[in-house]
Structure 1
Amino acid sequence: MALQEEPQELQNPPMAFDPSLFCEEGFEEDLGDNGSEEESENCDGFSKKQSSFPLIFLESDMFWENDELSSLISKEEQTHVCISGEISDGSLMAARKEVVEWILSVKAHYGFSSLTAILAVNYFDRFIASRPFQRDKPWMSQLTAVACVSLAAKVEETHVPLLLDLQVEETKYVFEAKTIQRMELLVLSTLGWRMNPVTPNSYFDHIIRRFGLKSHLHWEFLWRCERLLLSVIADLRFTCYLPSVLATATMLYVIDEIEHLILWNTKTSL
């Protein structure tokens, strides 16, 4: 089985992400403010600067007034879970962070798509939110993670490693294939066999297909969105934002980032 090496930059994506983009109170205002350079205070007290970039994607009626997009928005809450402080504790937070980091290392090891990793994390979050966290069984979170990665790979990848081969990147525990298979069935039944949830990637994919984006800049936009998303999913706080909110904030951030990159390249080429 050929393993694909992922660029070092992608293995260690930047963590710089503006929390102000996730203020729900200012969400609609951000989308409607065309080219404003004024700074405003969001609900968390962060100061944010509105992008002057012409948001050709997010401000287009063709983007928002669309049956497929409406369907995504109507379905996203069905497979979304917010792991708030009420159902989490220090042990769960530490276990989840370790699991997500391991999932990302498996993604890099096998060259899986970003969606595979996002799906695996989604399955894991929904599973642990549906069952009491067993502190006396520290191996349970690792077994669940292996099962979730296996299921996500079967949904998204064309080539899926053997169950024993999935347990890479310094795993603390190694499970037999039959044990993982039983865990897969438990995860499937717990999630009601809903294995194609709406994720932020669903909105990234929608905008690419909707506008027929094919240029290098467009694919750079998609790659940066996926990379940024992967850099924040280990943070438990981001589970409380709906996929549409997380996707829009990500795209706004990347659009602003690309705008500054284009301006810099233009200045240096003069």
Structure 2
Amino acid sequence: MEHELLCCEAESVRRAYRDGNLLTDRVLQTMLKAEDSYLPSANYFKCVQKEILPYMRKIVATWMLEVCEEQKCEEEVFPLAMNYFDRFLSVEPIKKTRLQLLGATCMFLASKMKETIPLTAEKLCIYTDNSIRPSELLQMELLALNKLKWDLASVTPHDFIEHFLTKLPIQKDTKQILRKHAQTFVALCATDIKFIACPPSMVAAGSVAAAVQGLHLKSADSLLSSQSLTDFLSQVIKSDPDCLRSCQEQIESLLESSLRQAHQQQHGVSTDTKGVEDEADLSCTPTDVRDVNI
């Protein structure tokens, strides 16, 4: 009996409650002032990198997202890891054969910042099909920390979502659904190079607006109507409404193309491979990063 109770306690992870003191306008204004400091260079493919191309970033980013989802990481881990990833590539040239190593390292750092139980170097190496060793990942960790100047407290779109949700006239249950949709859009944006130069607050506002429209939410005071919501959020982040509307449209377009691609891939898989999924090990994510090296 004692042994069973001990096992149950070992499996539970205690989560911190959301602190209302961190959702004040003062905190929001501080983040809005700081966000530009953590923006990567939008043209690092041309000015810094000699081997890395946009499609390679897309492959590695998709793989990173799949690993974070498979490991059930906190929602903020992936956007934070991608911020480290792009900031590193903005200042340091890297060979394409080391791009997956950099991605694993950025997830390693982000999970340390945000997870109760961080990802281990050994587990991340397994997800690379053991193409890298834990010692290599630890060496890259030190290099990444040096290039990021040990400044890991990046402002990401995820940080703004809760601030926006607290300002909207929606019920608690609806807020939970809206939050999940907005977080999904933020993660999707992090995989696409079109959003590298977008301020995190605008990506978050566009994601929330896209989520509201996608869920067809209605409100008695009409704040949740398309035009009113865009105007309201643009005032909150001190942005031009047309810029925010354009960002929202890009997010909706990205979602549509991603769903279309997923649908095509799903119907393109042979039914003979269905039984293989049960035998897959940790290294088998749908995205094959070896394509980067071609």
CA distance in 2, matches of 1:174, 1:243: 33
State whether residues 154 and 160 of structure 1, in contact with CA within 8 Å, keep that contact through their aligned partners in structure 2: yes
Equivalent residue number for residue 28 of structure 2? 69
Q: 1:252 to 1:208 in 2, by over 3 A?
A: closer
| Amino acid in the other structure paired with 2:137 | I
Number of residue pairs the alignment of both structures matches: 197
State whether residues 64 and 78 of structure 2, in contact with CA within 8 Å, keep that contact through their aligned partners in structure 1: yes
Structure holding more helix per residue:
2
CA distance in 2, matches of 1:215, 1:82: 38
User: What whole-Å deviation, never above 9, does each CA across 1:47-89 have from its counterpart, x for those lacking one?
Assistant: xxxxxxxxxxxxxxxxx99211111110001111143364367
User: What whole-Å deviation, never above 9, does each CA across 1:175-200 have from its counterpart, x for those lacking one?
Assistant: 22222111111111111111111111
Equivalent residue number for residue 102 of structure 2? 144
Mapping for residues 124-143 of structure 1, pairs under 5 Å? 124-134=85-95, 138-143=96-101
1:204 CA displacement? 0.7
1:141 CA displacement? 0.7
Mapping for residues 1-270 of structure 1, pairs under 5 Å? 66-84=25-43, 86-87=46-47, 91-134=52-95, 138-169=96-127, 171=128, 174-208=131-165, 215-259=172-216
State whether residues 164 and 175 of structure 1, in contact with CA within 8 Å, keep that contact through their aligned partners in structure 2: no
CA distance in 2, matches of 1:227, 1:92: 25
State whether residues 106 and 168 of structure 1, in contact with CA within 8 Å, keep that contact through their aligned partners in structure 2: no
- SS, match of residue 98 in structure 1: helix
State whether residues 64 and 107 of structure 2, in contact with CA within 8 Å, keep that contact through their aligned partners in structure 1: yes
State whether residues 81 and 240 of structure 1, in contact with CA within 8 Å, keep that contact through their aligned partners in structure 2: yes
Give 5+ residue unaligned stretches, structure 1. 3-63, 263-270
CA distance in 2, matches of 1:113, 1:130: 27
1:90 CA displacement? 7.9
Give 5+ residue unaligned stretches, structure 2. 1-9, 12-22, 220-294
Which 4+ stretches in 1 moved above 4 angstroms?
Answer: 208-214
**Could you tell me the TM-score, scaled by structure 1's length?**
0.65
CA distance in 1, matches of 2:129, 2:55: 15
1:168 CA displacement? 4.2
**Could you tell me the TM-score, scaled by structure 2's length?**
0.60
State whether residues 99 and 145 of structure 1, in contact with CA within 8 Å, keep that contact through their aligned partners in structure 2: yes
CA distance in 2, matches of 1:232, 1:151: 20
State the identity %. Answer: 22
CA-atom RMSD in angstroms: 2.8
- SS, match of residue 124 in structure 2: coil
